[in-house]
Amino acid sequence: MAGLSEIFEKYCQQSTLTGIVLIYFVTCIFTYFAFIWRKVKIPKFPRKILLITAHPDDECMFFSPTVQAETSKGNFVYVLCLSKGDYYKIGDKRTKELIKSCSVLGIPERNIRQVDHAKLPDSPSIDWDAEILQKEIIAIIYGLQPNKVITFDSNGVSGHINHKALYHCIQDICGKNRMPRHTRVFVLKTTSILRKYLSILDLPLAYLTSKRTFVSTPLQTFYAWRAMFAHRSQLMWFRILYLMFSNYMFVNSLQEVCHHGDC
């Protein structure tokens, strides 16, 4: 009899676990459709959105849900990429790939500005020159006068020091009150490594932890893949896995860090 009750107890535990997993999965599906079917507010006048990245491919590997959400609202997205991605000395090739990728995401070539400065090399071990970086970014911001600036947060999503440098630069500009008063600044929130590869299962957590979450429709996710495939030189096997499992391919959670110069 003791054996039978043990088996029954085990069965109950397994059923409870299966039930919890099923409920979570259904919640994910429900959250997904709630996101992609929600009414999107279209601005009366198109806004200028400046996306600041460190390398060609950042725009689609990390920011494609944000970019496509903005272009689908009729806003103009501009990309400022602070390097040619020359770590393996194929910068020229990567520049062409960036143009192709942006075109897939709805960003015309004229909206792309790429910086190629010796003090801002694509490198995971060399710190960027903060003064030059700030000069380059401010020149574009003052020229463009964007309504929104979007970049990485302090952890840089992947932890790359070039990504983190962009955050610190933007924070510095905001801290010195040098950001135009009509420009709002947002950063892409870094998620934990576990959440990063949860794919669609991350959605309820993204919803609960951020007020500004962009979720790609299946078609937009397909375009994000196509944009990534434009970066042929970067398509190693682990990047394919990234495309399959990374939450950044279809969900972005943003956080506002500077509004009307009042940081």
Q: Does 55 bind Zn ion (CB under 5 A)?
A: yes
Q: How far is the CB of 163 from Zn ion (least distance, A)?
A: 6
Q: Does 231 bind Zn ion (CB under 5 A)?
A: no
Residue type, 188: L
Q: How far is the CB of 8 from Zn ion (least distance, A)?
A: 54
Stretch that binds Zn ion, among 5-13, 26-34, 47-55, 146-154 (CB under 5 A): 47-55
| 149, β-bridge pairs | 50, 185
Q: Does 58 bind Zn ion (CB under 5 A)?
A: yes
Task: Calculate the CA 125 to chain-centre distance.
Answer: 22
**Helix, strand or coil, per DSSP, at residue 129:** coil
Specify the residue, 75 or 234, whose C-beta has the smaller distance to Zn ion.
234
| φ and ψ at residue 63, rounded to 5 degrees | -110, 5
Residue 100: partners with Cβ closer than 8 Å, 6 or more residues away: 230
Residue type, 172: D
Q: How far is the CB of 58 from Zn ion (least distance, A)?
A: 4
Closest residue to Zn ion using C-beta atoms:
55
d(CA 216, CA 65): 5
Candidates 231, 157, 228, 226; CA nearest to 190 is 157
Q: Does 94 bind Zn ion (CB under 5 A)?
A: no
Q: How far is the CB of 174 from Zn ion (least distance, A)?
A: 22
Residue from 54, 149, 170, 230 in contact with Zn ion (CB under 5 A): 54
Task: Calculate the CA 81 to chain-centre distance.
Answer: 14
Stretch that binds Zn ion, among 50-58, 73-81, 109-117, 206-214 (CB under 5 A): 50-58
Specify the residue, 84 or 207, whose C-beta has the smaller distance to Zn ion.
84
**Binding region for Zn ion (CB under 5 A):** 54-55, 58
